Amino acid sequence: MEVVVLQDRTDIGRIAADAVSALLNRKPDAVLGLATGSSPLSIYDELVSRYEAGELSFRQARGFTLDEYVGLPADHPERYRTVIDAVFASRVDFADGAVQGPDGLAADIPAACAAYENAIRAAGGVDLQILGIGTDGHIGFNEPGSSLASRTRIKTLTRQTRIDNARFFDDDVDAVPTHCLTQGLGTISEARHIVLVATGRGKAEAVHHLVEGPVSAMWPATVLQHHPHVTVLLDDAAARRLQLVDYYRETYRSKPDWQGI
């Protein structure tokens, strides 16, 4: 696991966008894993800028979102399918239908989850997965206690996650859905490169467990310690509880330019 402590969200966006650009240059039909929430916004903004500058195209690429609330009406602005369009997909040149998400309105939820797994597999798997992390250590919406081998399925959101996400629902925690569909930890772990972004003090405890804690379903993101290619991009505040932070800084400073992340 590579840990990179950067100045701010802008730097994080630039470094992550460099990795996406390098991938699309060598594989224009790459499959991107797309997180929603606030953490990846600077990445999406940077990718949009590069697209607008003519440096990047998503015309042959595909995207899969991580998760979706269950039961939010199709026209609800916080539906993740709508959110990813607004913050990223509709701002670049993805082909129609190239970005997919789990169907939180499906009548047959297990069938919808299986179909989503099949769609990811049929696309050849995710080349680069962008992730945020919840204050309780979730990735996707794999809340504490999730099986480290889990696949796409329905989950109940913790009270903490609903409180954290109430800011998107006029600060009304009761308006945040109780259930979601999420790629499982086993599903996410199959992505070839994982870029996890965390900023702010509120994420420091989860980041501490992710990077330096024991692997445990109580902190679901720790499953990433088993993955061969994970890059964790942090600001100072999110890195403040890391015991080896000086080592991570020194390692990144002395890294050869050609290596990328």
Smallest gap from residue 129 Cβ to ligand F6R (A): 10
DSSP letter, residue 114: H
129 binds ligand F6R (CB under 6 A): no
Residue nearest to ligand F6R (CB): 132
DSSP state string for 158-206 = PHHHHHHHGGGTTT-GGGS-SEEEE--HHHHHTSSEEEEEE-SGGGHHH
Whose CA is closest to 224, among 207, 201, 239, 238? 207
Active site members = 67, 136, 138, 143
Q: Which is nearer to ligand F6R, 37 or 184 (CB)?
A: 37
Nearer to ligand F6R, 140 or 177 (CB): 140
Q: What are the helix (H) ranges across the chain?
A: 9-26, 41-52, 80-87, 109-122, 159-165, 185-189, 204-212, 236-239, 245-253
Q: Which stretch binds ligand F6R (CB under 6 A): 101-109, 134-142, 150-158, 250-258?
A: 134-142
Q: Report DSSP state, residue 141.
A: T
140 contacts ligand F6R (rule: CB under 6 A): yes
Query: Measured from the CB of residue 121, what is the shortest distance to ligand F6R in angstroms?
Result: 20
Nearer to ligand F6R among residue 166 and residue 245 (C-beta): 166
Considering only the stretches 17-25, 87-95, 126-134, 241-249, report the one whose residues sit in contact with ligand F6R under the rule CB under 6 A: 126-134
Q: How far is the CB of 54 from ligand F6R (least distance, A)?
A: 29
CB of 138 to ligand F6R, least distance (A): 5
Min separation Cβ 22 and ligand F6R, Å: 23
**134 forms part of the interface with ligand F6R (CB under 6 A):** yes
* Residue 180 identity: C
Q: Kindly determine how many residues on this chain lie close enough to bind ligand F6R according to the rule CB under 6 A.
A: 14
* By CB under 6 A, residue 39 contacts ligand F6R: yes
Residue 146 contacts ligand F6R per CB under 6 A: no
Strand partners, 254: none
59 phi/psi in degrees, rounded to 5: -55, -35
Q: In the chain, what are the helix, strand and coil shares in percent, each to the nearest 5?
A: 40, 15, 40
Residue 67 contacts ligand F6R per CB under 6 A: yes
- Sheet of 193-198, strands arranged across: 2-5, 230-234, 193-198, 128-131, 31-34, 62-65, 99-100
Give the Cα separation of 243 and 57 in Å (integer).
40
Is there a contact between 124 and 166 (Cβ–Cβ < 8 Å)? no
* Of 60 and 213, CB closest to ligand F6R: 213
The residues binding ligand F6R (CB under 6 A) are: 35-39, 66-67, 132-134, 138-141
